[in-house]
Structure formats: structure tokens, C-alpha cells
């Protein structure tokens, strides 16, 4: 029986993944600042919304009002997705309030990872979420007090998400120009998949790139693609072909 897949809506990425992300996978989307992580996840949720699938975006770093305003600048996002609850933007503060932990998200307050996972599970079930985004896992880990607890949180979250039945993208902030998929070195172990956004310098210009490092449950291309980010969202082109270089 062929595996069920969740198309991202980014045509070339779906081709790279032979149709999409295998259902219920947890994917780490790693990349430096401004690489397009949030944009890619919004496009993923908008594509689900077009097909009537419920999506939830847990925002840790950006207030949801600003996020919604910025999201609507993209041609793929439509106000009715928000109105109909097909794309639900929730900030960490609201989740903490739901946990009875108050809305204090000041960085001095340590986060109870187990309680957060429980709250997330409840929200996913309540809204029948098919596509989940956490932006970013790095910012959550930064709120957990010790490395040991981060490790424990990451493993428990991975386990919980893989059993929930939704297909998840966790964004991971990485230092610029480094081949690292996470800040704490443990986040990548959560993932059934890793998609890496980076950049390279070409003729004094910085070119965005995307590469699928791993994706459990499917064969995929491991080539590096050039990534274009515009008001229409993300599109990809083979790096070598685009620049007219010799074939490898
Ligand atoms: N409406 C838009 N139209 C075209 N390009 C845009 C638009 N909005 C943002 N961008 C481009 O996308 C970039 C930011 O992308 P995005 O927010 O997805 O990156 P990110 O990896 O999530 O960044 P961060 O690490 O800051 O969260 C901007 O620097 C800009 O170049
Ligand atoms: Mg972002």
C-alpha cells in the first residue's frame, strides 16, 4: 500500500518529496534568520486550508496580530482561512494561559515542557488539526531551564506529535553559514525529516537554498535547490541547471 502524503503546496518541494510529507511525520525546518522558515510554513497551512484541512500555527516569537497582517501580504493567504478557523494562529501566551500558567512569557520564567505538550495535544484534538506548525522550537527550548530538560522535552514532544496523527513542521533557528540543524544539538533527533534552508554567495549576491536532508518513509532528492521567495511564496529551481553549470 502506498504511503499517505501531505502535499506542502510548494510544487517543486512536493516533487522532491515524491508527492509530499509522509502523513504524521514531524519535520524540522532549519535555517538562519530571514531564510524563509515562517513563509514556508504559512504556505503549507494555506495549502491545507484550500483543501478544507485545519491548520494550527503556534507562534513563539511573533505576536499573532502582526503575523496575520504579514501573512496576508502573501498571495497564497486568504482572510477567510482565518475567519473559518482553517488557519489558526495561536501564540505561546494563549497556550500558557490555557495551562493555568498565566500569560507571562517573560524570558525569566522557566517553561514547564510537560504541561506545554499536554496543552498542545488538547488543542490539536479540539480543533482537529491536520497540519501543525511550531515557530520556533528553538524559542521554546530557550525557555526551558537546563540542557537535560531540553533533551527530555524534545523527546517527549516528538513522541507525542507522532502519535497525534497531524503532520508537523517545527522551525529551528540556526547560526548563519553553519552546517547545523539546531541551536541545542538535540532538536534534530525529534524529526522524521529535516529540511535545511541556507544561502550561498554567487557573484556578490546571496542566493537562498533549500535541501531535504532526510525524510523518513519516502525516497527523495538530496540535491540543493535554489529558493526564490516572493509575494507568491516559495519556488525552487535546480541550482546547477539554473546557473547553466556542468552536470554532475
Ligand atoms: N510579502 C512579501 N513578499 C515578498 N517577500 C517577502 C514578503 N514578506 C517577507 N518577504 C521576504 O521574506 C523574508 C523573511 O522570511 P521569513 O519571515 O519567512 O523568514 P524566517 O526564516 O522565518 O525569519 P526569522 O528567522 O526572522 O523568523 C524577508 O526578509 C523578505 O525578504
Ligand atoms: Mg520566522
**Mind listing the pLDDT tens digit for each residue in 53-97?**
999 999 998 999 999 999 999 999 999 999 999 999 999 888 887
Helix extents (H) in 17-78? 37-50, 64-71
Q: Which residue has the cell 516528538?
A: 158
The pick from 31, 33, 36 for probing ligand 1's pocket by mutation, whose C-beta has the most ligand atoms within 8 angstroms, reads 36
pLDDT (tens, 9 = 90+) of the chain, 248 residues, equals 689 999 999 999 999 999 999 999 999 999 999 999 999 999 999 999 999 999 999 999 899 999 999 999 999 999 999 999 999 999 988 888 777 765 555 555 678 888 899 999 999 999 999 999 999 999 999 988 888 888 889 889 989 998 999 999 999 999 877 778 888 877 777 889 999 999 998 888 889 999 999 999 999 999 999 999 999 999 999 987 544 444 43
Q: Which residues line ligand 1 (CB under 6 A)?
A: 31, 33-39, 73-74, 173, 229-231
Phi, psi of 76 (to 5 degrees): -80, -15
Domain boundaries, the chain: 5-242
What pLDDT is recorded for position 175?
86
Enter the pTM of the model.
Answer: 0.92
The fold adopted by the segment(s) 5-242 is Rossmann fold (3.40.50)
Whose CA is closest to atom 18 on ligand 1?
36
Angle in degrees, 0-180, between the axes of helices 147-164 and 113-126, rounded to the nearest 10 = 20
Residue 236: C-alpha distances to residues 51, 90, 168 (Å): 23, 29, 21
Cis peptide before 136 (omega within 30 of 0): yes
Question: 241-247 — which CB contacts under 8 Å span 24+ positions?
Answer: 243/202
Whose CA is closest to atom 23 on ligand 1?
34
Count CB-CB contacts under 10 A for residue 105: 16
What is the dihedral angle through the alpha carbons of 154, 36, 43, 113, rounded to the nearest 10 degrees?
20
Amino acid at each position: 500500500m502506498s504511503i499517505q502524503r501531505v502535499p506542502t503546496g510548494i510544487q517543486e518541494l512536493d516533487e522532491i518529496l515524491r508527492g509530499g510529507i509522509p502523513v504524521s511525520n514531524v519535520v524540522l525546518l532549519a535555517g538562519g534568520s530571514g531564510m524563509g522558515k515562517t513563509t514556508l510554513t504559512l504556505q503549507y497551512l494555506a495549502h491545507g486550508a484550500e483543501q478544507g484541512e485545519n491548520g494550527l500555527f503556534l507562534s513563539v516569537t511573533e505576536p499573532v496580530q502582526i503575523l496575520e497582517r504579514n501573512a496576508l501580504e502573501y498571495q497564497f493567504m486568504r482572510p477567510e482561512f482565518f475567519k473559518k478557523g482553517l488557519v489558526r494562529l495561536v501564540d505561546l501566551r494563549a497556550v500558557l494561559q490555557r495551562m493555568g500558567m498565566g500569560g507571562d512569557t517573560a524570558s525569566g520564567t522557566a517553561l514547564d515542557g510537560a504541561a506545554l505538550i499536554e496543552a498542545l495535544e488538547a488543542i490539536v484534538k479540539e480543533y482537529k488539526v491536520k497540519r501543525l506548525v511550531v515557530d520556533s522550537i528553538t524559542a521554546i527550548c530557550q525557555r526551558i531551564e537546563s540542557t537535560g530538560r531540553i533533551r527530555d522535552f524534545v523527546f517527549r514532544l516528538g513522541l507525542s506529535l507522532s502519535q497525534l496523527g497531524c503532520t508537523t513542521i517545527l522551525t529551528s533557528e540556526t547560526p548563519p553559514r553553519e552546517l547545523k540543524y539546531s541551536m541545542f544539538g538535540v532538536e534534530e533527533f525529534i524529526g522524521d525529516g529535516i529540511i535545511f534552508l541556507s544561502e550561498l554567495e554567487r557573484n556578490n549576491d546571496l542566493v537562498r537554498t533549500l535541501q531535504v536532508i532526510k525524510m523518513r518513509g519516502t525516497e527523495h532528492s538530496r540535491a540543493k535547490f535554489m529558493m526564490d521567495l516572493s509575494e507568491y511564496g516559495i519556488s525552487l529551481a535546480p541550482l546547477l541547471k539554473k546557473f547553466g553549470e556542468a552536470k554532475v
